[in-house]
Amino acid sequence: MAIQQTFLRGYGGAVYDWGGDRGVFAGGWVQAQGPASKNIQYINLAGSAGATASYFGNLSMNQGSAYYQGGAMGNGTRALFAGVDRDSDNTNERRRIDYITTATTGNSSDFGDLQSSNGRYAGAGISNKTRGLFGGGYMPPASQATIDYRTIANTGTCQDFGDLTQPRHYVAGAQDNTRGVFAGGYSSPFKTPVPATNVMDYNTIMTTGNSTDFGDMLGGEFAGRGGVADTTRGVWLGGYKQSPSVGRSNQIDYITIATTGGTTDFGDLTRNVAWGHPMGNETRATYAGGEEPSYNTTIDMVTIQTTGNATDFGDMSSTRSSGAVGSGSAS
């Protein structure tokens, strides 16, 4: 009998706290090609530099390991992690959403399911205080354009929202109170080189329907970026750059979410990194861990409404890449 595992690789979700300073990151690889982890860590996003993340709990799965990227959504009180549950022999993939109450340490609980009949991963989550969207991702044998949605306060299965302008996975996301933006990603996992895109799409979160073109990212095609936002500005961090040069990037750029158009240069991370963990509050954006290509614990930080290079904020308690993320109230 196969052991059930949950694979919840989740770096790509948009993160805005909607009322709190606790950042959480769940699961992810601890080294290349495994093993993976079901551990959840947290950090005070408003704290002083030099802190190390603390233990929060575990993802709620049997022999679980967070492995495939999922989306992160939240409302300031509750954080949702969407990904894939499958057996240890890589069979019987199942859609899955877990949730935590950010102020209460402990293990995550089952929230419901994505609408797809099989597991879907490597998409991005965006949310306002009411509704969460999970867009794009990979479901064998192809990248997906599907967008799911769910009322964050109510557990249950997601519903169909619409489609992205093109199928893709390893997408990043950012949002304000009204609009969510999906950025970059790979359009196919099995071509060499894997084709990435610089496209950004947007949706009005409370209005179902297909995405609309927002603009293009600065400097080429990206996948595996982090997205963090406050109420007006979205910040894209790092990622794996496809052109004009190939490799991990230290690039930071930003958008004003209410205004369509291309990104603007913000500054640089302290390192070239992809598949890290983007978290933020109403002031700061952080990018934790990831692949340089070695796995690491570094947490970079920028102030969202300024421009300039990132500074060292602290460390994760263990190396991690591509876990799910969220943020919200600590009390």
* CB contact at 8 A, 227 and 174: yes
pLDDT band at 315 (very low <50, low <70, confident <90, very high): very high
Q: Is the dihedral of CA 281, 41, 136, 169 positive or negative?
A: positive
Q: Which CATH class is domain 4-328?
A: mainly beta
DSSP string, 245-307: S-EE--EEEEEETTS-S--EEEEE-SS--BS-EEEE-SSEEEEE--BSSSB--EEEEEETTS-
Per-residue pLDDT tens over the stretch 133-165: 999 988 878 899 999 999 999 999 999 999 999
Can you tell me whether residue 21 is helix, strand or coil?
coil
pLDDT band at 300 (very low <50, low <70, confident <90, very high): very high
Task: Give the pair of three-digit tokens for residue 221.
Answer: 């095609």
Q: Where are the domains of the chain?
A: 4-328
Share of the chain above pLDDT 70, in %: 83
* CB contact at 8 A, 36 and 28: yes
Per-residue pLDDT tens over the stretch 26-37: 887 787 666 667
